[in-house]
Amino acid sequence: MGRSEREPRTTEQAVNAATNNRAPECVGSEAVTQGVRIRVSPRYFPAESAPEENRFVFVYHITVTNEGDERVKLLSRHWVIVDGEGERREVRGEGVVGQTPELEPGGSHEYESYCPLPTHWGTMEGSFQMRRDNGETFDAMIDRFFLVAPQEGAEVKA
């Protein structure tokens, strides 16, 4: 699976950075690498969460779009997940949700997955390894996105 280490950041600093000092909420991301656009839209999933047991579940919707001129295939994924206590874990694996989609120029692939956390907020970022028809591989970056469960009465300090 991966290694675990602490991120040098306090909860307050990370939440403030994620929300620009607004009420905390999930914040998505979008990045383009060598013609591959990756858009992420996360949301809190209360039906599968149990805050009293420190279990917060987040669903994220990903759209991968090939904006380049050549067909690409998604080979593998690499995630870096950091919870609200700064605990970091890395996840690597083949494809996404059991698939290794091929994207023609202009084509897209969408899927949803989930991430359980032991804290009410955290971050995810990473990359998808892609391969062109000519055999060239590259990492399409997934910019950091924020997973934040609503907290009753929570305030973000300026």
pLDDT tens sequence across 26-61: 899 999 999 999 999 999 999 999 999 999 999 999
Residue whose C-alpha is closest to residue 105's, from 64, 139, 67, 63: 67
Give the CATH class of 4-148: mainly beta
- For residues 20 and 98, the answer to whether their CB atoms sit within 8 Å is no
What average pLDDT does the chain have? 87
- How much is the average pLDDT of 81-98? 96
Q: What local confidence, expressed as pLDDT, does residue 156 receive?
A: 37
In the chain, where the domains are located? 4-148
Residue whose C-alpha is closest to residue 64's, from 99, 19, 18: 99
- How much is the average pLDDT of 59-69? 98
Residue 152 contacts by C-beta under 8 Å, 6 or more apart in sequence?
none
- For residues 86 and 119, the answer to whether their CB atoms sit within 8 Å is no
pTM for this predicted structure: 0.82
130-158 pLDDT, tens digit each = 999 999 999 999 999 999 999 865 443 33
